[in-house]
Structures are given as C-alpha cells and as structure tokens.
Amino acid sequence: NKQVIFKNFVEGFPKESDMEVKTSSISLKVEEGSNAVVVKNLYLSCDPYMRNRMTQSDQETNDPEFIPFTPGSPLEGFGVAKVVDSGHPNYKKGDLIWGMVKWEEYSLIENPQLFKIHHADVPLSHYTGILGMPGITAWAGFYEVCSPKKGEKVYISAASGAVGQLVGQFAKLMGCYVVGSAGSKEKVDLLKNKFGFDDAFNYKEEHDLDAALKRCFPEGIDIYFENVGGKMLDAVLLNMRLRGRIAACGMISQYNLHQPEGVYNLMNIVGKRIRMEGLMAFDYFPQYAKFLDVVLPFVREKKVVYVEDIAEGIESAPAALVGLFSGRNVGKQVVAVAKE
C-alpha cells in the first residue's frame, strides 16, 4: 500500500520534500464486528486548505479543515474511491464513494461518513471538484452568500481554479457581468474563451490592481468572490459599490506567510454598507442532494464546463499539492491513483 507520508510541520511555502511516498506492508481488513470500510482510492483531491493542516497548532478545533496532520502518517483529503470491504450497513463492496480518505492506495476508514456516488455517467474525477467539495463551495458561496441578482457586476479572484471557474459560470447563467483574474495568459484565455467570462486579466502583469479593476468595472463591483486576500482584497474594497457583497471563501495569498499582510481599506465596508461573509463548505454538506439536483444537470447538459488538471500516479501527489501555491495547476488539481 503506497502512502504519501506527512513528514513534519511546515513553515512558509510547503515543499515536495515535506512529504514522502513510502510503501506500507500492513494489510488492511475490516475486523469482525467493526463498522469500518476498506476503500481503493481512485482519485485524490489537492485542496488549498490542506496547507492549514500542515501547520502545528495547539488550538482545539472540531473543524476538520484545521485539524493538523500527524507527522509520520499519511495526509488526508477528499477522494473518490471504491469500497472493497465493508462492515458498515450503509456501504457494500463495489460501492463508489467520495469523502475524506487518506493519501494512499487503499484506506481503512473507521466510522465512515462518505457520500455514495449514484451517478457514474459523468467522469468520476468530477466528485473531487464540480460535484464534490469545491462544487458545493461555489454553489453555496455564490447563490447563498452573494445574494446575486441578474445584471450585477461580479469579480472573482483565482478565477480559473476549482472553485472560481464554477462561480464565474454560475454568475453568467444568472445573467451577471463577470470578470476574473488569474496568474497566467493560458488561464486568462480559459476564462474568456472556455468559461465565457466577459473579461479577465493576469494579476501578475498589473502593477496597479486598483487601476486594473477600474478598467474592468468603471461603475464598480456588486459582488466579489474572494479566493486570494491581501493586496487583492485591498484593491477590491476601493471598487465595491453601495450594498456590495463579498463572499470570503479563501485567502490563498496569505496561507504561507509568517505574518499576514495588512488590509488598509476596510473603512469602505462602513460607508458602502458592504456585507462580507465567510463560508465553509462543510456547513453545506447536509444540502448535498439539493446541490446535485442543480449542478448535475448543468454538467450533463454542458451548461457548465469543468477543467481538471490530472496528475498521474500517487508518486505525483506531493508535487501536485505544492503546485497549488505557485499556480502550477490549470483548473481543478486531481491525482489519479488507480482505475476502477
């Protein structure tokens, strides 16, 4: 059983060498009377929140996003897998599932809380993205937290990624004016030509983010879907309209800094009556069926397209995860571990 072992707590940017692919000879089986399952992992999901779990913390938390990994043990994350052995009444051998697994070829999961995959006519890798955690994030973040209306002006940072590409397409379906930013020409082309954004810019080539936003939004921004934080948030605050909304989904530019950057333009929230609200995907997991009713037809009818960046083989997992923090991924970063 090949495993991706978390070697030790990380400071600054994570490196491939913070992880190690090793083979374990321990055989996994469900003990008599246990309600565990053994799964064969097919796809592993690389997600930015995993960086939080690489930091040592003495704060008590029940939030799975913040429970630190254990040095010497495999990383954990969302994955798509097939049940190969089960002592649990809700799961049987052969079931396809998505949920929290370990970064290894086979995982023994005690007290499984896994979503069963009932629709396998779409690519299974989608259950790490558009039909999994990032999909729920985009759906709840846009439709619920942003309270969008037709014709509103929407701005999305890290717009070509797992969450951002979906938010932009949901906003276009609603009849909004949509602009995204991303870190390369290839990504900007995707935003404009594949995802149908009205406009897009490469934030790495703009020395003045405020000017870039004024160029794209001469009348200001109604909705900002925040994935990046820091300087980007500061520039956006200057360009928000009266009663604008900011969905604080993530702030990836801050995750590897020793000291978070200052945000100086917060007073705009007061005068412009801006509502800024954080969201956590896990809160919406109980609404998964409702989410699927909306988003699965979008996939099947090709109303929404989804770009994935699939790294082959479990050995590629450390580089794939680390790549999120330099923007190496083009679209949702997935690791393909095995075929069904």
* The amino acid at 299: V
Residue with structure tokens 């996939």?
Answer: 299
Is residue 234 a contact point for ligand NDP (CB under 6 A)? Answer: no
Among residues 104, 80, 89, the alpha carbon closest in space to that of 1 is found at 104
Binding span for ligand NDP by CB under 6 A among 12-20, 42-50, 98-106, 145-153:
42-50
- Binding to ligand NDP by residue 227, rule CB under 6 A? yes
- What is the C-alpha separation between 185 and 112, in angstroms, rounded? 42
Nearer to ligand NDP, 3 or 181 (CB): 181
If binding is defined by CB under 6 A, does position 240 make contact with ligand NDP? no
Tell me if 164 contacts ligand NDP by CB under 6 A. yes
Residue among 280, 310, 319, 338 that touches ligand NDP (CB under 6 A): 280
Q: Which amino acid would we find at residue 202?
A: N
Please name the residue that has the structure tokens 């190496």.
328
Q: How far is the CB of 252 from ligand NDP (least distance, A)?
A: 4
Q: List b or e across 37-64, with b for residues whose CB sees 16 or more CB atoms inside 10 angstroms.
A: bbbbbbbbbbbbbbbbbbeeeeeeeeee
Residue 200 binds ligand NDP (CB under 6 A): no
Q: Longest Cα pair distance anywhere in the chain, in angstroms?
A: 66
Q: Which of 44, 80, 131, 281 binds ligand NDP (CB under 6 A)?
A: 281
Q: Does 233 bind ligand NDP (CB under 6 A)?
A: no
Closest CA to 168 of 160, 328, 280: 160
The span of 113-121, 145-153, 176-184, 212-220 binding ligand NDP (CB under 6 A) equals: 176-184
Taking alpha carbons only, the member of 321, 309, 315, 320 closest to residue 338 is 315
168 is a site residue for ligand NDP (CB under 6 A) = no
List beta partners, residue 333.
Answer: 309
Is 74 near ligand NDP (CB under 6 A)?
Answer: no
Q: Does 134 engage in binding with ligand NDP (CB under 6 A)?
A: yes
| Spatial contact of 154 and 222, defined as CB atoms under 8 Å apart | yes
Q: Is there binding between residue 327 and ligand NDP (CB under 6 A)?
A: yes
- Given candidates 43, 115, 170, 325, which one binds ligand NDP under the rule CB under 6 A? 325
Write out the residues near ligand NDP by the rule CB under 6 A: 47-49, 134, 137, 158, 160-164, 182-184, 187, 227-228, 249-253, 279-281, 324-325, 327, 329, 332
